[in-house]
Amino acid sequence: MTTPGRPGDLHPTPERVRLANGLTAVLQPHDAAEVAAVQLWVRAGARDETPEEAGLSHFIEHLLFKGTPSRGPGVIDQTISGLGGEMNAATSQDWTYFHVVLPAARLDTALDILADAAQHAAFDPVEVERERHVVLEEIRRAEDTPSAALWRVLSRGHFGDHAYGSPSSAPPRPSAACRTRPSSTTSTAPTCRTTRRWWWPGACRPPRVSRP
């Protein structure tokens, strides 16, 4: 465990804590504003997908905040925005990352929402279909962006058939990696085997918490 930096340091030393469940938490003091930022990093990305799962890590990233058994569709977004915060996520070849920023006094809310979404995402069929169109539009926009198109060409040329040669986003095919099962809270709850394979404590990078 490292020693936290002194109050007022521009770049205080992060404190690294290994939790009993296998997760590693990194805490870094932040004095510039009365806000808390919570991040979850999962050590899985596009390179970990099989050909049948292409684009699924990016798709899961889009779906994670779309609802849980205790927070219906739209509730997470309404809660975060209602408290003056923001949330976002990103997918690369090597990792998937999620973050929530809220007033420092609501740090517990940020942690609870991120933990709930990561462990209990509902993958509601209606939301899955709606978000599939969002992802397709995002892919179309990327194809119309010269810098993004050039990056894809360079990646294919350099990495060839390696996973790094394919983009992290692909047209989502959720049926290829999801099945439905009965649930006590929803009539059908798609369960992605990809999520179960990747999302265990040892696969999660440190959730970074930054607060005053």
Question: Which residues are known catalytic residues?
Answer: 61
- Report which of 123, 139, 133, 131 is spatially closest to residue 193, judged by C-alpha positions: 123
Q: Which residue has the tokens 């949330």?
A: 87
Two structure tokens written together for 187: 């009539």
From residue 114, how far is each of 91, 147, 161, 207 by CA, in Å?
16, 32, 35, 10
**Is-contact 37 48, C-beta < 8 A?**
no
